[in-house]
Amino acid sequence: MLFSFSLLVALYLLIFPLLLPNKSILVVSNFKFLHHPFSSSSSNKTRPANVSGIHNETLLTDVENIKNASLHVGEQSFQKGNSEDSNNRTVVTFSDSTLQRNSSDIVKGKCFSDEEHRNNTENSSFSPKIQNVGNFSEGKHEQDSIEKSNTSLTNPRKIGLYKDCDLFDGKWVRDDSKPLYPLGSCPHIDKSFNCHLHGRPDRDYTKWRWQPNGCDIPRLNATDFLERLRGQRLVYVGDSLNRNMWESMVCILRQSIGNKKRVYEITGRTEFKKKGVYSFRFEDYNCSVDFTVAPFMVRESSFRGKNGTFETLRLDLMDKAASTCQDAEIIVFNTGHWWTHDKTSRGEEYYQEGNHVHPKLDVLVAYRKALTTWAWWVDQNIDTNRTQVFFRGYSQSHFSGGQWNSGGQCDRESEPIFNETYLQRYPAKMRVAEEVMQKMTSPVSYMNITRLTDYRKDAHPSIYRMKHESEAEWNSQDCSHWCLPGVPDTWNELLYASLLQLGKGTWKSL
């Protein structure tokens, strides 16, 4: 009988472990999936520890152990073997956003504490002066940026957003959940950006999402953005491409407001009677999103010479309108598209410093002088303990067969560029901007959107910028600006991600 009992015990010890679940499938430590605190489905109106997929821990997962995992709010479920999902994806749901990843991009899991993560990122590529600089240069990208990921088992893409992630190095992926606001839903879009209004037949240009190679970024949560912006100002300063971005942000944030009458353009106040200063107020949050027109960043002026008075550009003086943004909590600057020989009188007797007008000056030299003036102004006038400063890089144009004033076209483009061979050279102006920012004493976050816009030849207004009434209007296409909804929405998602990544002021992870 003792022998029989021993035999039963041995069989039990042999068989019982086989009945246990595989503990190596996934390890989650102190990792919570929560409803957004301000969503309609949340009963808890206080801020949770993690919002919109921004975590304090780094979660990495094992491709050999995780075949098809689906993590949802409040539950974890695991499937062994093959799934009905033919793409073999890992889907992680964070309240209002779903991040999808190929399982080939996943590596063995480990969670880091805040202290360990800080130690691991101390030697990152972040500059104390220029933050978030995308490392784009000619010939750097050897793989296709849309069809292929350069993520490998030795350099995994992480779930979430991290300070060592270059948000601007990535690819465009199809996302049918886009756009962030429905076509035709926002009345504040400039007619020249409203391609849907002017009869563009396709919607595919709105169905792309930017995916960084090193991490996942959150979908822009408009309610969270407004809550963090409560009582503050966000100001875009620059040319019409920044107007593109400003209108995009107004539309994104407006979409989350129930009573749309609580979002309105401010008029009548003295500061908004100045030329080129516009502002939308979000009454429920006591905040505003503004745009200040300053296409050159420096002052447009005039000079009285021997042969009369003529227009000049003061390379040594900041645009007067810039003074309206000094007290803002977030400022996004840009300049670039107006710096061409055609728009600067070919550099002949146009650029002025003090009482001297240069007989002729190369546009890149003038651009450097102007940005140096801007950099000095920021260093002297912006309190960066209070204000976060961003500089948005150059947005690529896609004229074919000419330029904006010589019959250039892009109306036949219906999808992004898939082959990097067809991408353009990195603009010399952006190298100048990077060099100037490196010398600044104030921290500036550089949004290097040049490469990501280069792929999107499909998303310009082209002939859909207006209702055409003449042959000349049909032949004049806009291949510089962007349709809305469209690419500028992604710039604002990257601004949102950058603010969370930097974690300053109300943007700290709580």
Which residues are marked as active site? 240, 478, 481
Torsion sign over Cα 449, 451, 455, 460: positive
- φ, ψ of residue 136 to 5 degrees: the values are -100, 130
Q: Are 448 and 134 in contact (CB under 8 A)?
A: yes
Distance, in Å, from the CA atom of 243 to the CA atom of 484, rounded to the nearest integer, reads 11
Detail the DSSP E strand segments found in 351-461.
Answer: 351-353, 356-357, 388-392, 444-447
Q: Are 195 and 483 in contact (CB under 8 A)?
A: yes
Q: Look up tokens 């219906």; give the residue.
A: 414
Distance, in Å, from the CA atom of 28 to the CA atom of 34, rounded to the nearest integer, reads 14
Within a 10 A sphere around the Cβ of 264, how many other Cβ atoms? 13
Q: Which residues of 169-197 are buried (b: 16+ CB within 10 A; e: fewer)?
A: bbbbeebeebbbbebeebeebeebbbbbe
Rounded to the nearest 10 degrees, the angle between the axes of helix 487-502 and helix 240-254 is 80
Q: Which residues sit opposite 210 in a β-bridge?
A: 172
Q: Look up tokens 């000095």; give the residue.
A: 376
Task: Give the SS3 label for residue 376.
Answer: helix
- φ, ψ of residue 397 to 5 degrees: the values are -100, 165
| The two structure tokens encoding residue 245 | 């971005």
| The two structure tokens encoding residue 19 | 């009945």
Question: Which of these, 480, 457, 473, 463, lies nearest to 208 by C-alpha position?
Answer: 457
Evaluate the omega torsion of the peptide bond into residue 179 and state whether it is cis, within 30 degrees of 0: yes
- What DSSP state is assigned to residue 341? T
| The two structure tokens encoding residue 498 | 């950058």
